[in-house]
């Protein structure tokens, strides 16, 4: 039986959450300004810039989720924190959905960058909404993992 949820493991997850928060704040800043109309001056730069950041975020998230879904995590929780299993499964279940949504936004941002019509009028809004979802997701994970660690330190389950 491998113990996955250790203090070091949780610290690494929380460090990664911090890095992701910086990337998301950066993306929000890009999205704060008005979006140029498709085909207008500045539209291509705006969309390319957005696409590059989305690709980077997708890559970081993919690696981050893979780390969180470390081999043996579920088994570890089943063994030592069975009552937390449904919460864990719920957060892990959100990972592929968020990646899929992010890829869909990336594709539309690239289409938009070529000035192709029809453009998606909700590109900004969809991205912001995904960032909100991701924010809540990471908060939920932080809370969940910290509770597991707290129990490990002898607080009882």
Q: How far is the CB of 75 from Fe ion (least distance, A)?
A: 19
d(CA 2, CA 35): 49
Q: How far is the CB of 139 from Fe ion (least distance, A)?
A: 10
The closest of 63, 53, 65, 66 to 106, measured between CA atoms, is: 53
Rg (CA), the chain: 19
Burial class (CB in 10 A: 0-12, 13-18, 19+), 154: exposed
Closer by beta carbon to Fe ion, 44 or else 137: 137
Closest residue to Fe ion in the complex (CB): 141
Choose the stretch contacting Fe ion; rule: CB under 5 A; options: 77-85, 94-102, 119-127, 141-149. 141-149
Residue among 108 and 141 whose Cβ is closer to Fe ion: 141
Q: Helix 43-68 to helix 123-150 angle, to the nearest 10 degrees? A: 20
d(CA 74, CA 59): 23
Instruction: Give CA angle at 65 (67, 15), nearest 5°.
Output: 65
The reply to whether 76 sits near Fe ion by the rule CB under 5 A is no
141 binds Fe ion (CB under 5 A): yes
Q: Which of these ranges, 21-29, 47-55, 105-113, 139-147, lies near Fe ion under the rule CB under 5 A?
A: 139-147
Q: What share of the chain is helix, strand, coil (3-state, %, to 5)?
A: 80, 0, 20
Residue number, 62 or 122, with CB nearest to Fe ion? 62
Shortest Å, Cβ 3 to Fe ion: 19
The stretch near Fe ion (CB under 5 A) out of 2-10, 98-106, 122-130, 140-148 is 140-148
Q: 76 or 138: whose CB is closer to Fe ion?
A: 138
Q: Which residues bind Fe ion (CB under 5 A)?
A: 138, 141
């Amino acid at each position: 039986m491998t113990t996955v949820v250790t203090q070091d493991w949780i610290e690494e997850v929380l460090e990664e959450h911090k890095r992701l928060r910086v990337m998301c704040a950066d993306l929000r800043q890009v999205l704060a300004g008005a979006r140029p109309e498709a085909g207008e001056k500045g539209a291509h730069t705006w969309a390319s810039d957005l696409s590059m950041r989305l690709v980077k975020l997708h890559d970081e998230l993919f690696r981050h989720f893979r780390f969180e879904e470390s081999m043996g995590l579920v088994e570890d929780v089943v063994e030592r924190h069975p009552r937390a299993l449904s919460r864990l499964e719920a957060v892990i279940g959100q990972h592929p959905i968020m990646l899929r949504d992010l890829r869909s936004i990336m594709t539309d941002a690239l289409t938009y960058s070529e000035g192709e019509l029809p453009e998606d009028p909700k590109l900004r809004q969809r991205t912001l909404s995904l960032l909100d979802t991701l924010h809540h997701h990471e908060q939920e994970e932080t809370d969940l993992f910290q509770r597991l660690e707290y129990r490990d330190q002898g607080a009882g389950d």
